[in-house]
Chains A and B, each alone.
Chain A
Amino acid sequence: MKKDQLKKWLEALETAWVGVVTHKLRSSLTILGIVIGVAAVITLMSVGEGAKAQIISNIEKMGSNLVIIRPGSFTFGGVRGGVSETLTMEDAEAISKQVPYISAVASSYSSSLQLVVGGENMNSQVTGVTAEYMQINNMKVASGASFSEEDYQRGAKVAVLGANVAETLFGNTSPIGQQVRMGTIIVHVIGVLESKGTRFNSPDDAVYIPLAAMQQAVAQPRTPQGGRVVSSVSLTVSDQSQTQNVIDDITSLLRTRHKLAASADNDFNIMSTEEIASTLSETMGTLTLLLGAIASISLLVGGIGVMNIMLVSVLERTREIGIRKALGARERDIWIQFLIEAAFLTFAGGIIGVVLGWVIAYLVSSMGLMTTVVTADIVILAVSVSIGIGLFFGFYPAWNASRLNPIEALRAE
């Protein structure tokens, strides 16, 4: 019985194959519609996946388990207004002492300063940092050295340059040991950071010096209570599963320290890389789906092409259907035959489309236009959607065929 079933399916497949092969041009044009649709889905979705992968890797470059606290409240769709001077070094110390699951805390104070080297000058964000800031924020030097413990304690006038800053100020010559004037002080360059390649708020465009040195270049403001104002506090969570607890603890600690009323908004803002990564990857996932949906329109058009061809094919083979019915084919036998033929066309189109889409994605990636990532999900989705389209758009023509009256079908030319 099982063998009979298998044989029946094989015969149906063979019939479908003969149907496809005997109309080579027509079949290839039909398949082409599906090929283009599937290739478009694969390519566009791989672009979306690629963008997602790139953003996640950029965030990971910021340092994992990283939590950053900035002053001011975050307002969606608006700019953080003015200079908020609510976060202090004392806050950082309190966090370090009172909140568990924190392995390191560092503060920074940033200011925009004019940098001068010989004839070159440029404006840059200069950030004074405390010990451990460089490790917490995952900043590694590409050449030279980072700050020593002593540099922090003495407030040594030494600087580590972002990759772009070094390039602008010194071109191809090595900046190590060179002098840079910034505001009222002169610093020695001791290192250049690895380029992160990120675009927003990138360390590539910044200059780092010990906070104690920074205090000599610009006056570090104080709050009315006498706290020393900082631009950011960054810290490493020792146990990633505790990230949310750490954020909650810091929030309540800072609210208490800043004496905020229960109804008042936070006057600071806490972000974790984990949170940013998950938000962004969710957003990019939506973007990928959107791109896929747009590309699916071409797949839909291809599906309508399949339906068109199948209707013509049924019409053209009316007599064949009549003969088959006279020989004892049931309605089911006929519609399975045409359904398999439609699914066969779209499946073949799906496979070719996957290969084509993959090649295009690879070319786009290797030409450096965009990062593309083809995942197994995308391939499975594209192929199953294409077969689904074959079944969906093949159903009506196949049903039409199965309902033909054998006598009338036999009379057809």
Chain B
Amino acid sequence: MIRLQDIAKVYPMGERELTVLRGVNLNIEKGELVAIMGPSGSGKTTLLNLIGCLDKPTSGSYHLEGREVSRLSSDELSQVRARKIGFVFQTFNLLPRLSALANVELGMRYAGGSDPKRALKALAKVGLSDRANHRPTELSGGEQQRVAIARALVKNPPLLLADEPTGNLDSHSGEEIISVLTSLHAERGITLLMITHDANIAHHCQRIIHLKDGEVVSEETV
């Protein structure tokens, strides 16, 4: 599913350069549930952004479902994101002026067009069909994150990426979100990558990848 070879990411910082990733090699099979852990500044988010085609590596190659995507144009990357990748962010990133349903529809908007029925089904899947017409501000943090999950999944992407999905939630809502994500993974066989600081959450996953200073330092299978 995902094959990273010698991936490096270097940011120019004026005269100097900031190396965030140095030679990451990683294989993730279809249907895997993987946690990425590491101290802050270890390059977790940068790695996830690269895998999510939001960014391009400075060097190295990245094959997604067998296709080399590390040299695509920004519009081509947009299309890859539209069809293959769902994102769940720490800060939810819902559009505040749209209803929960409209936010979910937005997930399909650039992947072939909206369909309110499918959006409603996705909301029901995360247990929020009765909140369809509420705005994000009228929802709890846990509910907002569930809307965000529905938005990510409504287009049926093969790959779901979550960047600390429980980081802004209390532990109870956090557990709910993790159970929603793991059950989706179990039902649909979706490939799920999740950044987390929480070892308990990481132990719901099949594999834990530890990053440090831009390198994979260890991998453990749970």
Interface residues of A (CB under 8 A from B): 4, 7-8, 11, 18, 22, 319-320, 322-333, 406-407, 410
Contacts and interface: CB of A to CB of B under 8 A. Distances in A.
Contact of B95 (A323, A328, A407): A323
Most chain B CB within a 10 A radius of its CB, from A319, A325, A328: A328
B98 A328 contact: no
Contacts of A322: 93
B9 to A, nearest CB: 11
Given A328-B83, A329-B110, A410 B78 contact: no
B97 interface: yes
B111 A328 contact: yes
B114 A11 contact: yes
B72 interface: no
A326 B109 contact: no
B95 A329 contact: no
Nearest 7 A/B pairs, CB to CB? A328-B82, A328-B110, A328-B81, A330-B78, A330-B75, A329-B110, A323-B93
A407 B112 CA distance: 23
A324 B110 contact: yes
B155 to A, nearest CB: 8
Contact of A319 (B82, B93, B106): B93
Contact of B106 (A4, A327, A407): A327
B113 interface: yes
B113 A327 contact: no
Contacts, number: 65
A331 B75 contact: yes
9 contacts: A18-B97, A320-B95, A323-B106, A326-B54, A326-B87, A328-B82, A329-B109, A331-B78, A406-B54
Contact of B54 (A7, A319, A330, A407): A407
Given A320-B95, A332-B75, A410-B93, A327 B54 contact: no
Contacts of A406: 54
B216 to A, nearest CB: 21
A395 B46 CA distance: 32
Contact of A8 (B55, B74, B113): B113
Contacts of B109: 11, 324, 327, 329
A51 B84 CA distance: 66
A324 to B, nearest CB: 7
B78 A328 contact: yes
B49 interface: yes
B137 interface: no
A323 B89 CA distance: 10
Given A329-B110, A330-B110, 17 more contacts: A22-B97, A320-B95, A323-B106, A324-B110, A325-B81, A326-B52, A326-B81, A327-B87, A327-B106, A328-B81, A328-B82, A328-B111, A331-B74, A333-B78, A407-B49, A407-B54, A407-B55
A403 B151 CA distance: 24
Nearest to B103: A323
A21 to B, nearest CB: 9
B38 interface: no
B110 to A, nearest CB: 4
A317 to B, nearest CB: 9
B79 interface: yes
Contacts of A11: 109, 113-114
